[in-house]
């Protein structure tokens, strides 16, 4: 019996193909995915804030021992969900999207729609020191991907709509539609053309309107700039740029270092227990590390560092400004530790908002040092707090334009545009020279699966080795005589080369038609010459498990060969020809730039 739902979908698709152009349909879909991504972001925020409000009633940081166990409880709930329901390892949100775009043709598992809405609130709500932006983007991207598959949208448009969903989610969380578009361009390496810009603009508007509809016009940061940029402060903004660059490098190295530190703990239970207790101890001494940290940032922006630092074991010394500065630098140092420990212990979340918290603490601390060092200088602590966030975002995420426009939008003005540009540019340049790839992209770059703004590299990344492997080559054995080879293989083949393969499938050499041309009509040599005397080694080998398409292209260039054998798990798989590789490259390039 036919499914009525499938029948209606088929009818809708037929109607769409007849009545609506691809361009118009893409614009309509960008609005839809922007709304759905915004809705996912709103849902994620509300669930998290509900959990936090339940737990914070009656709990005091400095005196209640529950804060030692809350992170463990949250991580345990995440562990149970992953083990018994999700049954797959949790992936980093943004990295998994980038991998889907480069290796899976924009196809994402349906589980990724709802899993972030469960695991991230449990992690953050119970004190995990991570953010919600990454999970919101991941959920929105998964919604877009699965909707695209349902409506039979092609790979290129599906990838564009995933970027649109990401812009919608970011616009919904920060109510910053321009920064959301720039984030999608910088992080997902989209070309900023009208073909991509208009759909992202529509998705971003849709996402921010969704946020206004459900949450009102209340901003995450209730702050209006009152002190404008002063030219005499330029040197200090340069200094802050250098400081945020150093902190960005520290942040990135600490991230990978702590993950490596937890690797010897094979059991997820041990990682959970060790990480949960470590986070609990850090929360006891440094309360602002709890959860995302938006309250901490807002308090610093309002000039209330006492409320920002909360009740802590050092509150008796808070009258001393240098104790406050030390605590702020402590947050700068330990936010990266707490965040990565949360991930290593099995938690789910994002790195964007922890980066902002770390930057705000650093910027405020630097301003306090300048104002209290006794040299007569006076700078705006609130402005340095904002620009410190921009510097960390630019350095850690390698997204300078996103950092500039995000801070400008969330503060409702562009008065700080010049110092934002100074600090973000310096932070990005220093960090980029020290670290080639961000936390989002390092693992993908190592796998050869990273999309960039380099069209040549991006096209090669999008190509799949399976699409160019040819398997119709007739193989021969070393023990074969020339006569056997001619009758059993050459006569039945249309190729001019023959792989020499053992009974176990291991390739031992290669024979070209030119190698046997002088003997093939001399019947007296048929039984005297064997394949082993004719064969020679291939000029290079392509390893299926390891080589990226960039490496494959480089091997053709270095060897000068027209055909190279492919080895998979030590055994012969087939050949890649230069002509087929270049044809596939040209087709992919035309499709990518169309």
Q: What pLDDT does 365 receive?
A: 94
Element (H, E) at 202: helix 194-215
Pair of tokens at residue 515? 């190698």
Pair of tokens at residue 496? 């001019």
Mean pLDDT taken over the chain: 84
Task: Give the dihedral sign, CA 577/578/584/588.
Answer: positive
Distance CA 308, CA 314 (A): 13
Point out the least confidently predicted range of 163-167, 286-290, 585-589.
585-589
Point out the least confidently predicted range of 362-366, 403-407, 413-417.
413-417
- Indicate if the pLDDT at residue 457 is higher than 80: no
Mean pLDDT of all residues in 120-149: 90
Mean pLDDT of all residues in 221-231: 76
Pair of tokens at residue 18? 């007849």
Point out the least confidently predicted range of 30-39, 69-78, 304-313.
304-313
- Indicate if the pLDDT at residue 221 is higher than 70: no
pLDDT per position as a tens digit, 472-490: 888 888 888 888 888 888 8
Q: What pLDDT does 462 receive?
A: 67
pLDDT band at 114 (very low <50, low <70, confident <90, very high): very high
Distance CA 581, CA 556 (A): 10
Point out the least confidently predicted range of 29-38, 123-132, 402-411, 447-456.
447-456
Query: Please, are residues 187 and 397 in contact by the beta-carbon 8 Å criterion?
Result: yes
Q: Which residues, at least 6 apart from 200, have a Cβ–Cβ distance to it below 8 Å?
A: 30, 163, 164, 167, 180, 181, 184, 185, 190
**DSSP of 300-355, one letter per residue?**
HHTT-HHHHH-S-TTGGGTTSHHHHHHHHHHHHHHHHHHHHHHHHTT---BSHHHH
- Candidate ranges 81-85, 241-245, 271-275, 584-588; pick with highest mean pLDDT: 241-245
pLDDT per position as a tens digit, 260-310: 999 888 888 888 888 888 888 888 888 888 888 888 888 888 888 888 887
Task: Give the dihedral sign, CA 193/198/204/207.
Answer: negative
- Indicate if the pLDDT at residue 119 is higher than 90: yes
Point out the least confidently predicted range of 187-191, 263-267, 406-410, 435-439.
187-191
Phi, psi dihedral angles at 542 (to 5 degrees): -105, 125
Distance CA 425, CA 244 (A): 11
Task: Give the dihedral sign, CA 146/150/155/157.
Answer: negative
Question: What's the chain's Rg over C-alpha atoms?
Answer: 29
Query: Please, are residues 179 and 146 in contact by the beta-carbon 8 Å criterion?
Result: no
User: CA end-to-end span of the chain, whole Å?
Assistant: 42
- Indicate if the pLDDT at residue 143 is higher than 60: yes
Pair of tokens at residue 26? 């893409």
pLDDT band at 59 (very low <50, low <70, confident <90, very high): low
Q: Which residues, at least 6 apart from 515, have a Cβ–Cβ distance to it below 8 Å?
A: 534, 535, 536
Point out the least confidently predicted range of 128-137, 453-462, 526-535.
453-462
- Indicate if the pLDDT at residue 64 is higher than 50: no
Q: Which of 248, 249, 237, 331 is nearest to 288 (CA)?
A: 331
pLDDT band at 61 (very low <50, low <70, confident <90, very high): very low
pLDDT band at 404 (very low <50, low <70, confident <90, very high): very high
- Indicate if the pLDDT at residue 229 is higher than 70: yes
Phi, psi dihedral angles at 512 (to 5 degrees): -95, 155
Burial class, 155, CB count within 10 angstroms (exposed 0-12 / middle 13-18 / buried 19+): middle
Model pTM above 0.75: yes
Pair of tokens at residue 206? 């849709």
Q: Which of 151, 131, 169 is nearest to 294 (CA)?
A: 131
- Indicate if the pLDDT at residue 369 is higher than 90: yes
- Indicate if the pLDDT at residue 555 is higher than 50: yes
Query: Please, are residues 147 and 298 in contact by the beta-carbon 8 Å criterion?
Result: no
Mean pLDDT of all residues in 26-33: 92
Domain annotation for the chain: domains and CATH numbers:
4-215 (1.10.3080.10), 231-450 (1.10.3080.10), 457-593 (3.10.580.10)
436 compared with 140, residue with greater pLDDT: 140
Q: What pLDDT does 213 receive?
A: 87
Element (H, E) at 577: strand 571-577
Task: Give the dihedral sign, CA 563/569/571/574.
Answer: negative
Q: What pLDDT does 238 receive?
A: 95
Mean pLDDT of all residues in 572-576: 89
Mean pLDDT of all residues in 213-225: 71
Point out the least confidently predicted range of 15-19, 219-223, 383-387, 560-564.
219-223
Query: Please, are residues 433 and 442 in contact by the beta-carbon 8 Å criterion?
Result: no
Pair of tokens at residue 355? 């980066």
Mean pLDDT of all residues in 71-76: 88
| 374 dihedral zone (left: phi>0; alpha: psi -120 to 50; beta) | left
User: Between β-strands 469-470 and 497-501, what pairing exists: parallel, antiparallel or unpaired?
Assistant: unpaired
Query: Please, are residues 137 and 97 in contact by the beta-carbon 8 Å criterion?
Result: yes
Task: Compute how many other C-beta atoms are within 10 angstroms of the C-beta atom of residue 524.
Answer: 7
Mean pLDDT of all residues in 344-354: 89
In 3-state terms, what secondary structure has residue 397?
coil
Q: What pLDDT does 23 receive?
A: 86
Distance CA 130, CA 93 (A): 12
Q: What pLDDT does 60 receive?
A: 44
Point out the least confidently predicted range of 6-15, 48-57, 219-228, 571-580.
219-228
Chain center to CA of 274: 26
- Indicate if the pLDDT at residue 455 is higher than 70: no
Q: What pLDDT does 1 receive?
A: 46
N residues, the chain? 594
User: Between β-strands 542-543 and 571-577, what pairing exists: parallel, antiparallel or unpaired?
Assistant: unpaired
Q: What pLDDT does 4 receive?
A: 66
Q: What pLDDT does 515 receive?
A: 80
Element (H, E) at 417: helix 417-434
Query: Please, are residues 102 and 461 in contact by the beta-carbon 8 Å criterion?
Result: yes
**DSSP of 36-87, one letter per residue?**
HHHHHHHHHHHHHHHHHHHHHTT--TTT-THHHHHHHHHHHHHHHHIIIII-
DSSP label at residue 481: B
57 compared with 127, residue with greater pLDDT: 127
- Indicate if the pLDDT at residue 58 is higher than 60: no
Please give the C-alpha separations between residue 281 and each of 275, 294, 416, 527, 590, in angstroms, as whole numbers.
10, 21, 38, 80, 56
Q: What pLDDT does 368 receive?
A: 94
């Amino acid at each position: 019996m036919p499914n009525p739902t499938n029948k209606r979908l088929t009818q809708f698709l037929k109607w769409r193909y007849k009545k609506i152009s691809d361009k118009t349909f893409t614009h309509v879909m960008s609005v839809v995915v922007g709304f759905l991504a915004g809705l996912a972001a709103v849902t994620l925020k509300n669930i998290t804030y509900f959990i936090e409000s339940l737990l914070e009633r009656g709990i005091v940081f400095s005196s209640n021992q529950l804060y030692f166990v809350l992170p463990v409880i949250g991580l345990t709930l995440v562990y149970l969900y992953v083990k018994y329901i999700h049954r797959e390892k949790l992936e980093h949100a943004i990295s998994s999207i980038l991998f889907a775009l480069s290796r899976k043709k924009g196809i994402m598992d349906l589980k990724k729609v709802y899993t972030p809405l469960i695991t991230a609130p449990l992690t953050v709500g119970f004190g995990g020191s991570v953010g919600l932006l990454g999970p919101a983007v991941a959920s929105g991207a998964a919604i877009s991907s699965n909707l695209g598959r349902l409506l039979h949208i092609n790979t290129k448009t599906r990838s564009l709509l995933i970027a649109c969903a990401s812009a919608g989610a970011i616009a919904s969380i920060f109510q910053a539609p321009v920064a959301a578009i720039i984030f999608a361009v910088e992080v997902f390496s989209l070309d900023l053309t009208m073909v991509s810009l208009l759909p992202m603009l529509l998705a971003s508007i849709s996402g921010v309107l969704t946020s206004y509809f459900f949450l009102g016009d209340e901003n995450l940061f209730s702050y209006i700039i009152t002190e404008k940029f002063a030219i005499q402060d330029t040197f200090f903004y340069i200094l802050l740029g250098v400081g945020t660059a150093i902190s960005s490098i520290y942040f990135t190295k600490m991230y990978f270092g702590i993950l490596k530190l937890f690797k010897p703990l094979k059991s997820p239970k041990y990682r959970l227990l060790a990480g949960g207790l470590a986070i609990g101890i850090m929360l006891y001494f440094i309360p602002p590390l709890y959860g995302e940290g938006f309250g901490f940032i807002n308090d610093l922006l309002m000039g209330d560092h006492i409320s920002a630092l909360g009740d802590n074991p050092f509150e008796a010394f808070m009258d001393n400004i240098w104790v406050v500065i030390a605590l702020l630098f402590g947050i700068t140092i330990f936010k990266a530790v707490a965040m990565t420990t949360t991930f290593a212990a099995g938690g789910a979340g994002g790195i964007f908002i922890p980066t902002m918290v770390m930057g705000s603490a650093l910027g405020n601390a630097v301003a306090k040092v300048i104002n209290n060092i006794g040299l007569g200088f006076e700078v705006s602590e609130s402005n340095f707090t904002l620009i410190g966030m921009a510097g960390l975002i630019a350095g850690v995420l390698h997204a300078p334009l996103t950092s500039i426009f995000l801070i400008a939008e969330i503060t409702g003005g562009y008065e700080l545009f010049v110092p934002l540009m100074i600090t973000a540019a310096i932070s990005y340049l220093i960090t980029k020279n020290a670290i080639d790839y961000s936390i989002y992209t390092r693992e993908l770059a190592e796998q050869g699966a990273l999309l960039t703004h380099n069209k040549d590299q991006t096209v090669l990344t999008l190509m799949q080795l399976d699409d160019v492997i040819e398997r119709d080559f007739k193989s021969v054995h070393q023990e074969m005589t020339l006569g056997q080879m001619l009758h059993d293989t050459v006569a039945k083949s249309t190729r001019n080369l023959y792989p020499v393969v053992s009974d176990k499938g291991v390739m031992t050499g290669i024979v070209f038609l030119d190698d046997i041309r002088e003997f093939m009509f001399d019947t007296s040599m048929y039984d005297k010459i064997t394949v082993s005397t004719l064969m020679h080694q291939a000029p290079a080998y392509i390893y299926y498990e390891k080589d990226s398409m960039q490496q494959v292209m480089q091997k053709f260039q270095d060897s000068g060969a027209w055909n190279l054998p492919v080895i998979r798990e030590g055994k012969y798989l087939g050949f890649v020809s230069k002509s087929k590789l270049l044809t596939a490259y040209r087709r992919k390039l035309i499709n990518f730039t169309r």
